[in-house]
Chain A
Amino acid sequence: MHKILIVEDDIDLAMVLQMNLSSKGYKVLVAHDALSGTSLTHSEMPDVIILDINMPAGGGLAMLKNIKLSIKTKIIPVIVLSGSEDEELIHAVLHSGVESYIKKPYDLEDLCRHIKTVLHIKE
């Protein structure tokens, strides 16, 4: 069973996402901020990370960089979930080694396809 880490500051959305992916047969972990997200990544080593990039104080991008710079965690594929229109931020995200990028509101089928693709690439 693949392990997916969801990092999303909106508690409701995080819950809905958890339900969505659990019913698709994934083991789902949830973090509500970048700090706990990073620590969960290191302790649990999930197979995929779904990361909300728009967290307070630029937490999303900071965590993404942290993961992609660490030798241990950089192989973990990251799917960025973004509601932002900020072109600078989008540019920074796309150039930080992210594996996939999905715009909110996400389509569940689409999200699952992305997850399968990155898992397939990883293996």
Chain B
Amino acid sequence: MFRDLKLGPKFFLSLVVISIVPLLVISAFNYFYTKSRLKESTIGNLRAINDSRAAHVNQFIRLRQEQAKELSGSYMIRLLDPQGANSLQLTDGIQRQVDSVYYEIKRTPRSDYQYIDQASGINNISIWDIHGNIIADTNRLLIGKKMPFKFLHILYEKGAYFTGFEEDPFTGEKFLTILDGVRNWSTEEYSGVVLLKSRADVLNDITAVREGLGKTAETYIVDKDKQMITESRFVKDAILSLQVNTKATEACFRSGNKQGPVLYKNYQGRDVLGVQKYLPDQEWCVITEIDAKEAFTPVIVFRNRILFIGGFLIILILILVHLAGRAFIRPIVELRDASLNVARGKYDETINVDSRDELSDLARSFNQMAKVLASTTAQLKEKNKILEEQKEELKKKDQLKSEFVSMVSHELRTPMSIIKGSLSQLLDDSAQNTKEIKDKLINISLGSIKRLTDLINNLLDLSKIEAGKIELHKALVDITGLIREICHTFDPQAKDHRIEMRCRFSSEPIMIDVDKDKMIQIFINLIGNSLKFVEKGFIEVSAKDEGDFVQCMVEDSGPGISKEDLAKVFSRFQQFNHPLARDPGTKGTGLGLSISKGLVELHGGKIWIESEVGVGTKFIFTLPKRIVAS
């Protein structure tokens, strides 16, 4: 899967994994660590508050007990008769003392527990004789009433003790009652009871102090019947009417002050963090709880912060990784594209190099490579082209050569046929060959042999000229004198055919640096050619000084050459059997004009032909003078 990815995604994924995974691990670790620390500290905080509230409750109860003991130990109250035979004088005295103590307590609260006394105080003090008759009470209306005396049994067993919540049988009001037994001064027998009554919600003043408890935290007290005996922060009139059946109360009453559950559902079914304290004397449980949501608010804030910062970091990382990836991948992609281009034969597209790292080194060397490749390829192409051209040229030459060979063989075969045919005829005894016929056959054969010889000589000349192997023996020659000589040699022939042979040039000699023999050969070829075709009229040979060069011309009044044939005049083995030709039997070799052309060009000159059918032909050639005679 990963292997199939392109380089870009690969690089991106790798960097993302490398950078984001540690970030996630660190964040998660931080989150859980912080959460657990926060939980611990919250619990610690709750425990401190819980302890303090429990201590307050204890102190409050103890204070009441001390106050009760103070009264029960006072001289006048200890005068109470164990049989209940108390004088009116005594009960009046006790009543006065109760009033005075009540007044005292109300007026001067203990400074240490100021808020307790000020807020709650004691609502009622009551003294009972041994039969349960009220002999003194801050509520005077109750004096003389008889109470159901169930407290005594507890008293005998435990001494001074609080009674819990009792309902006043007369007023129906609920009181937190604390009582202490009274022992007779002399007999030490139980002779009565002192009761201190407080409002039922007196403890609420302690638990309702919510300093350091935040918005949802509360402290409440549950008695052994799991009845709430302080107000709830959330439920109205909860005292003695709200049953608290939670894991916390259960654990508290079952195992006392052992560490109970920390995270549980409270009486409202909400998730809370809580601590409990068991008060064994009162068999109460003091519980302090805080809504888990609130408790963990800092964790959530912390978590959100981590998510926010983490998210921001991740986005930042993604962007940076993307940019970094592009910076790394782009040159590679460019290299790939460039190499594809090179593979397709496009060498001119180079890679832009704008940095100094290894990749750009690679790109630079790639560019260089492409450049070298391009020039090498261009050279190869050029060379190939040249080779191709040379090949074509060779092919052409080869073809020309084979054509030439074929032509030569043809030119050889005809004279050979003549010789062979003549000899066969001469050898044939049955044929009645006259002397005249025999002579003719022999002459024809000799002519053919001459033709063959001429042909071979001409071929050799031509091949020498074409191979550039001919040597010119140059010397200063007066061209006018030369022409005059040549004309003289042709005079008899011309006279035979009644043709006028003319030479035309200025009287001044024209000096020219040429090979004399080759010049003669050229003129003989050209004049001989004319002689073959001219039937009547003239052949004129002329030379003209043109400054840098000399222009020579052989003009005749022959039949002329058609335009199509003009182009072929200088080709090898080109012979024209013009119907008007004077002597069709005079066979040339077909190489004379080719040789003339080659010789003129060898001298650095030019040769051309001008002709009109029915008028005549002009062979014209120029020769550079090189050295001019003074």
Contact = CB atoms under 8 A, between A and B. Distances in A.
A and B: partners? yes
Contacts of A16: 417-418, 421-422, 425, 441, 444
Contact of A104 (B417, B441, B587): B417
Measured as residues with beta carbon below 8 angstroms from the partner, the interface class of chain B is: 35 or more
Nearest to B584: A11
Interface in A51-96: 54, 56, 81, 83-86
Contacts of A104: 413-414, 416-417
Given A12-B447, A20-B421, A108-B421, A86 B413 contact: no
A47 interface: no
B421 A13 contact: yes
Nearest to A11: B585
Interface in B393-442: 405-406, 409-414, 416-422, 424-425, 428, 430-433, 437, 440-441
Given A23-B431, A23-B432, A83 B424 contact: no
A15 interface: yes
B52 interface: no
A81 B441 CA distance: 20
Contact of A106 (B421, B431, B433, B577): B421
Interface string A39-53: 000000000000000
B219 to A, nearest CB: 129
Contacts of A84: 406, 410
Nearest to A86: B406
Given A23-B431, A105-B420, A106-B420, A33 B414 contact: no
Contact of B414 (A13, A19, A23, A86): A13
B115 interface: no
A13 B418 contact: yes
A98 interface: no
A55 B618 CA distance: 27
A71 B610 CA distance: 45
Contact of A12 (B424, B433, B448): B448
A20 B421 CA distance: 7
Interface string A99-117: 0000111111000000000
Contacts of B421: 13, 16-17, 19-20, 105-106, 108
Nearest to A54: B410
Contact of A23 (B410, B413, B428): B428
A107 to B, nearest CB: 8
B183 to A, nearest CB: 165
A20 B418 CA distance: 11
Contact of B577 (A17, A56, A105, A108): A56
Contacts of B585: 11-12
B291 to A, nearest CB: 116
Nearest to B416: A105
A10 B418 contact: yes
A10 B587 contact: yes
B328 interface: no
Contacts of B490: none
Q: Dominant SS at the B interface?
A: helix
B308 interface: no
Nearest to B451: A12
A19 B418 contact: no
A81 B432 CA distance: 26
B100 interface: no
A105 B416 CA distance: 6
Interface in B577-605: 577, 579, 584-585, 587
Given A12-B585, A56-B575, A105-B416, A85 B406 contact: yes
Interface in A1-37: 9-13, 15-17, 19-20, 23, 32-33
Nearest to A85: B406
A23 B437 CA distance: 12
Contacts of A17: 421
Nearest to B440: A15
Contact of B405 (A9, A33, A81, A85): A85
B576 interface: yes
B584 A83 contact: no
B593 to A, nearest CB: 16
Interface string B442-471: 001001100000000000000000000000
Contacts of B411: 83
Contacts of A13: 414, 417-418, 421
B444 A15 contact: yes
Nearest to B408: A85
A83 B413 contact: yes
B552 to A, nearest CB: 29
Contact of A32 (B419, B576, B584, B587): B584
A20 B425 contact: yes
A71 B34 CA distance: 125
Given A16-B422, A33-B577, A85-B406, A10 B430 contact: no
Contacts of A32: 577, 584
Interface in B526-580: 575-577, 579
Contact of A83 (B417, B419, B448): B417
B425 A56 contact: no
26 contacts: A10-B587, A11-B584, A11-B585, A12-B447, A12-B448, A12-B585, A12-B587, A13-B417, A16-B421, A16-B425, A16-B441, A19-B421, A19-B437, A20-B425, A23-B425, A23-B430, A23-B431, A32-B584, A33-B579, A83-B409, A84-B406, A85-B406, A104-B416, A105-B421, A106-B420, A108-B428
Given A12-B585, A104-B417, A106-B421, 13 more contacts: A12-B447, A16-B422, A16-B441, A23-B430, A32-B584, A54-B410, A83-B413, A85-B406, A105-B417, A105-B419, A105-B420, A106-B420, A107-B420
> Which 8 residue pairs spanning A and B have beta carbons closest together?
A23-B431, A83-B413, A85-B406, A104-B413, A16-B421, A105-B417, A108-B424, A11-B585
Interface of B: 405-406, 409-414, 416-422, 424-425, 428, 430-433, 437, 440-441, 444, 447-448, 575-577, 579, 584-585, 587
